Amino acid sequence: QQQVKQSPQSLIVQKGGISIINCAYENTAFDYFPWYQQFPGKGPALLIAIRPDVSEKKEGRFTISFNKSAKQFSLHIMDSQPGDSATYFCAAIQGGSEKLVFGKGTKLTVNP
């Protein structure tokens, strides 16, 4: 119930391509869904976040799509760049809780 399932585990994309990472959850009490980007040896950095009252949020090249009925959300990275190469974590937090529940992460490699 508390899990967030993330796929794929790793992803290789050519420069300029679209990177898509998917997450699914069971707990309908989750009400905040952030995506974090992590470079090796660094802490997770917030990339973009969404609440379930909207179906899409876009910030620059990064878009979250949210499907409440399917309990799924995804991160799209448009025009992927080598500098986007990192591990991406989806996460969720339940209303009234302070505990971020993370997915297992996706290692993205963008080839030049």
Partner 1 sequence: EPEVTQTPSHQVTQMGQEVILRCVPISNHLYFYWYRQILGQKVEFLVSFYNNEISEKSEIFDDQFSVERPDGSNFTLKIRSTKLEDSAMYFCASSEDRGETQYFGPGTRLLVL
Alpha helical stretches, state H, the chain: none
Number of helices (H) and strands (E), helices first, in the chain? 0, 11
Tell me which of 10, 12, 15, 42 binds partner 1, using CB under 8 A: 42
Residue 7 touches partner 1, criterion: CB under 8 A: no
Nearest residue (CB) to partner 1, 43 versus 83: 43
> Do residues 102 and 89 make contact, with C-beta atoms less than 8 angstroms apart?
yes
Cβ at position 17, least distance to partner 1 in Å: 26
Q: Give the largest Cα separation in the chain, rounded.
A: 43
Residues 46 to 75: which contact partner 1 by CB under 8 A?
Answer: 46, 49
Measured distance CA(91)–CA(88) in Å, rounded? 10
Site for partner 1, rule CB under 8 A: 31-32, 34, 36, 41-46, 49, 89, 91, 93, 95-105
